[in-house]
Chain A
Amino acid sequence: MAETATSSRLDLARQYLAFQQQRKIDDLLALVADDITMILPLVGTVSGKAAVEKQLRARPGGGGNTAWQEPAEEGGSVAVTGTAPFGQVKVQFAFDASDKIKTVEVMLGGAAGGSLPVPPLNMAWAKVPTERPPRPKDLGPDGFTLKLADSGSYAWVPDHWPYQNDTPRGAWPAAEENRGLAAPYTIYNKDEVWADNAAELYELAIRERWAPATQISWGSIEPLEEHVEAALDQICTNISEQAYNSNQLLMGWLMQISYGFHEVKLYLATQVFDQARHCEAFRKRALSNGGGLGVQTPGFMNRTVYATFKFTELVTYVNILRGSFLLALCEAGERLGRSQADRQLFEHTANDLRRHLAFGVEHLKYYVRHSGANLARAHTWLSRGEAMYAADLQRDTPLREAFVLALGDTVQEGKARLKELRQAQLQKYLAMLDAATIYNHEADLIPDFRDVIENP
């Protein structure tokens, strides 16, 4: 049965407001329940009689210049509206079974100003014992970089990050009961994500940013022989699709990484931004010169990227394997490209890919050095990636033929240059693995992968 306010409850509300205006806090407190809750607009929720007493004694509120109207019943509660210098105020009182006030909720409206129930000065947050960093000096041409900012203890990255929310590294963590929700992050161990160069690559990516819309000389593209244009369009379609696939999945991994490794999250943000650029830039190229998009990829590598279970696995496929092959392709841009626009496109993309590879190499190196088991896992991923990449290359007739037509003036020359390209891609891949301390991997190449490289 719904509670209804009695005339006594209306009286109690009047008394409360009168005691508040008269600053008779003891009398006011006698009206309230022990488990009272007070909700104030700038303070939030204050619970329990002791806390409410502290609040009221510091900032009673309800100043004498508020004109209160008569209390009125409102759905089991009592509401009182008033006009204060700062505008309309409404106070809602709820009562328990013994007619003690159990909830006081203050709602404000109108212009700011006048006497508000502000909380007492606390500033406990200012007294937390976090490190006081030195002020940076002599910033240099690269400015106030992340590496400069994160000095002293702010730079220290633990092997295991202990906080399950978004606590920033170096901040004083909230008490466990004030830490909010535990997040769905799955990565708390440094070896699963770390690369020593992440902070530098983040800043470098920002310095090296480019905009395809305005920084490619689209007007330099001249009509080509139709089969050559079709070939370039097919290659561009392939690159665009790979970039979108890598981009989508990498974005999806961001929420797995806990906040102790902010350098990595920041670097990855630049990589997803780069990949977005590649997706749209190569699409633009394919639509610029009388052609259109080509045929989709067979999708083995796309599926493999989608199906990754571990972050390092993703990096192995996207940064190391795909990255090496794409970079070597872009470095052949002088041969492939037929215009200034084409060459710019390949150069900018190559520059971005070098950062992706740099991150991938450093991360993979960190990962495999952490434990022998990690090295074995890396080999498993490399084998899987090679097998799937080979499957794509073997089945992708349009792409293969596109390279033949685009790389050579004749079919024979094109095939020879494709073989050279594949060798360059392979050597790039192996060099990256060497740099990641996965040495002599050539002996472990998957046979199908080796075959499609040697016989493209």
Chain B
Amino acid sequence: MVKPEILEQLRKETAGEDLDLSWIDHPAAERGIRVVPGKRGLTLEDISVGSYGNPPERTENQSGRMRGSAARSDAQNIGSHWMKKSESWSDSAMMLYEEALQRQWSSATDVPWEEMPDLDEDLELAMSQLCTFLTQVEFIAGDVPGKFAPAISADHFETGLFLASQIMDEARHLDVFRKRALVNGIGLLQAGPGAVGLLTAQSFLDMTASLHLVGEGFVQSLFRMGEMIAHSEVDKKIFRLAAQDESRHVAFGVMHMKYLLEHEPERREEVHTYLDRMEGLVGTTPNQSGLTGGGDTSEALAILLGGGKSEAQLNEGYNKLLAIRRRQFNEYVHRLDVVGLGDRRERMHPRAQAFLDPPKN
């Protein structure tokens, strides 16, 4: 608190007669805060103290006022922001945002492009086709979070910050896979139907179920199998870097869904509906959005996994693709367990159930 005599002195100074200073004299926001950096520097978690932490479960703030700052009596309502914390909150948002900042990488300089070897033409074609697909769909995972960003209250701003980091990650992915297709003499190949369907998400929960839990989760599983897919250290590095980013996105989505279901358990069936839809679409329709489920990308992946296009190589490739598919579904079920939807196993589309390992007792 500023001593009244200091304020009085200021008002008495030359040119000080018109000073109001009521915002200092009677501050409406909490004062006396002195946050201290921790082992990871001064993080969002470190500054979540007092009235500046503790995002409200429900907010009436429609003015864009940052959490903890003093309100003006004449503040305007701007846009329409979600009132419930559970609509967008993820307990991991702060940590994941700070991690994203620390783990930024450059496709231009952190990928050793000069070491890119010449691959067998069929493998290079297949890699270029896979990258054509990936560069097509990756930034949809930037567009979709962006769609919901304006609705996030400034009282829950940490979610908005995380989404900005996800958008930056997806930009890098669009960029790196485009560069990969263009670096080794082939270029971009056949575009497919893409992933525009994800833009149909009608709520934040619809998004985290469809995009983060399912879409990004399946892509993360695929990237983690980069050692099997890639035929150069350059490609392995690309998959490793991208997988690292996807892990944050999946974690965010999982923790949002977990938070929401803990606070609004009556919405369980709603989540199942979103997953019913996604399970019907993922992997079993003849288009590329299914990734490993058919179409041009599947064939390209099979060639990469099998090491070529002979019958024996293709058979091996498709067998490995099946193994990837199994891994994708089993990791999906694990995520569902974390979210608190372990019962989903029994309700999954039979085609998806067919890929599952027996439940652990």
Given the complex of chains A and B, what is the CA–CA distance between A214 and B318 in angstroms?
Answer: 46
Cβ-defined contact, B354 with A125, below 8 A = no
Contact of B79 among A225, A230, A306, A411 (CB under 8 A): A306
In the complex, B186 has a CB within 8 A of chain A:
yes
User: What's the nearest-Cβ distance from chain B to residue A205, in Å?
Assistant: 9
- Do residues B146 and A255 form an inter-chain contact, with CB atoms below 8 A? yes
Q: Which of B33, B70, B97 interacts with A294 by CB under 8 Å?
A: B70
Residue of B nearest to A42 (CB): B318
**Quick one: given A44-B290, A125-B300, A291-B33, are A166 and B164 in contact (CB under 8 Å)?**
no
Contacting residues, chain B, for A172 (C-beta < 8 A) = 188-191
A residues near B157, Cβ cutoff 8 Å: 244, 279
B146 to chain A, nearest CB (A): 4
Task: Select from chain B the residue with minimum beta-carbon distance to A282.
Answer: B66
- Does any Cβ of B come within 8 Å of A376's Cβ? no
Q: Is residue A4 contacting chain B, with contact meaning CB distance below 8 A? A: no
Binds B, one of A112-120, A350-358, A365-373, A431-439: A112-120
Contact with B167, one of A209, A273, A415 (Cβ below 8 angstroms): A273
Give complex CA distance A203, B170 in Å.
14
Q: Which of B21-29, B248-256, B259-267, B339-347 lies at the binding interface? A: B21-29
CA distance A254 to B146 in the complex (A): 6
Bound form: Cα–Cα A435–B23 in Å: 39
- A213-B41, A280-B161 given; A237·B356 CB < 8 A: no
If the complex has contacts A165-B193, A252-B150, are A206 and B104 also in contact, measured as CB distance less than 8 A?
Answer: yes
Q: Does B56 contact A (CB under 8 A)?
A: no
B16 close to A411 (CB less than 8 A): yes
Q: For residues 183 through 221 of chain A, which have their beta carbon under 8 Å from a beta carbon of chain B?
A: 183-184, 202-203, 206-207, 209, 211-214, 216, 218-219
Smallest Cβ-Cβ distance to B1: which chain A residue: A226
Say which residue of A121, A171, A280 sits within 8 Å of B190 (CB atoms). A171
CB of B132 within 8 A of CB of A253, answer no
Residues of A near B37 (CB, < 8 A) are 213, 218-219
A382 on the B face (CB < 8 A): no
B129 within 8 A of A: yes
**Do B182 and A149 have beta carbons less than 8 Å apart?**
yes
User: For B182, B187, B286, B321, which residue has the most chain A Cβ atoms within 10 angstroms?
Assistant: B182
Is A100 among interface residues, defined by CB-CB distance under 8 A?
Answer: no
Please indicate which of the listed interface residues B1, B290, B322 has the most CB atoms of chain A within 10 Å of its own CB: B322
Q: Does B119 reach chain A (CB closer than 8 Å)?
A: no
Taking the nearest CB of chain A, how far is it from the CB of B133, in angstroms?
9
Name the residue of chain B whose CB is nearest to the CB of A269: B171
Please tell me if the beta carbons of A116 and B108 are within 8 angstroms of each other in the complex. no
Chain B contacts for A114, CB-based, 8 A: 319
* Chain A contacts with B in 156-199, Cβ cutoff 8 A: 165-168, 170-174, 178-184
Chain B, 50-104, CB within 8 A of any chain A CB: 52, 63-66, 68-72, 74-76, 78-79, 97-98, 101-102, 104
Q: Is the CB of A121 within 8 A of B167?
A: no
Q: A154-B182, A203-B108, A251-B146 are in contact. Are A118 and B284 (CB under 8 A)?
A: no
When the two chains form their complex, are residues B35 and A287 in contact, meaning their CB atoms are under 8 A apart? yes
A45 touching B315, Cβ below 8 Å: no
Q: Which residue of A lies closest to B285 (CB)?
A: A44
In the bound complex, do residue A143 and residue B108 qualify as a contact, i.e. CB atoms below 8 Å apart? yes
Closest CB in chain A relative to B283 CB, distance in Å: 8
How many chain B residues touch A (Cβ–Cβ < 8 Å)? 143
B192 nearest CB neighbor, chain A only: A174
Nearest to B195 among chain A residues (CB) is A166
Q: Which residues from B are CB-within-8-Å of A130? A: 187-189
B238 to chain A, nearest CB (A): 12
Q: How far is the CB of B77 from chain A (nearest CB, A)?
A: 9
A247 within 8 A of B: yes
B residues less than 8 Å from A136 (CB atoms)? 113, 183
Segment of B135-143, B215-223, B268-276 in the binding face: B135-143
Report the nearest A residue to B163, measured CB to CB: A251
The answer on a CB contact under 8 Å between A214 and B102 is yes
Q: Please state if B190 and A174 are interface contacts (CB–CB under 8 Å).
A: yes
Q: With CB as the reference atom, state the residue of chain B lying closest to A146.
A: B175
Question: Within 8 Å CB of A202, what residues of B?
Answer: 171, 175
In the complex, whether A397 has a CB less than 8 A from a CB of chain B is yes
Choice from A45, A139, A276 contacting B164 with Cβ under 8 Å: A276
Check A241/B66 contact, CB under 8 A, given A133-B185, A154-B182. yes
| Chain B positions within 8 Å of A288 at CB level | 33-35, 42
User: Is A240's CB within 8 Å of the partner chain B?
Assistant: yes
For B170, list chain A residues within 8 Å (CB): 269
B residues within 8 A CB of A412?
13-16
Q: Kindly name the residue among B28, B34, B144, B168 whose own CB sees the greatest number of chain A CB atoms within 10 A.
A: B168
Q: Any chain B CB within 8 A of the CB of A48? A: no
Pairwise interchain contact B322-A112, C-beta atoms closer than 8 A:
yes
Mask, A120-146, CB within 8 Å of B = 1, is 011111101011111110010111111
- With A216-B42, A241-B65, A293-B52 known as contacts, the answer to whether A276 contacts B71 (CB < 8 A) is no
Known: A43-B294, A132-B187. A183 touches B196 (CB 8 A): yes
Q: Are A118 and B318 closer than 8 Å at their CB atoms? A: yes
Contact B299 A168 (CB under 8 A): no
Q: Which residues of B contact A363 (CB under 8 A)?
A: none
| 358-409 of chain A: CB within 8 A of chain B | 395, 397-398, 401, 404-405
- Do B187 and A276 touch (CB < 8 A)? no
Q: Which residues of A contact B295 (CB under 8 A)?
A: 44
Q: Which of A235-266 contact B (CB under 8 A)?
A: 237, 240-241, 244-245, 247-249, 251-255, 259, 262, 265-266
Contacts of A296 in B (CB 8 A): 63-66, 69-72, 75
Among B160, B285, B323, residue most surrounded by chain A Cβ atoms (within 10 Å): B160
Q: Which 7 A-B pairs have the closest CB atoms?
A: A180-B193, A44-B294, A44-B286, A269-B171, A213-B41, A143-B108, A251-B149
Beyond A44-B287, A116-B319, A118-B302, 18 extra complex contacts between A and B, CB < 8 Å: A43-B294, A105-B351, A114-B319, A132-B185, A132-B186, A144-B109, A144-B111, A206-B104, A226-B1, A226-B3, A241-B154, A255-B143, A262-B139, A262-B174, A266-B174, A283-B52, A296-B70, A306-B79
15 inter-chain pairs at a CB distance below 8 angstroms, sorted by A residue, are A121-B314, A132-B186, A151-B182, A179-B193, A181-B193, A183-B199, A212-B41, A213-B102, A230-B24, A248-B152, A251-B164, A255-B147, A294-B27, A302-B78, A398-B23
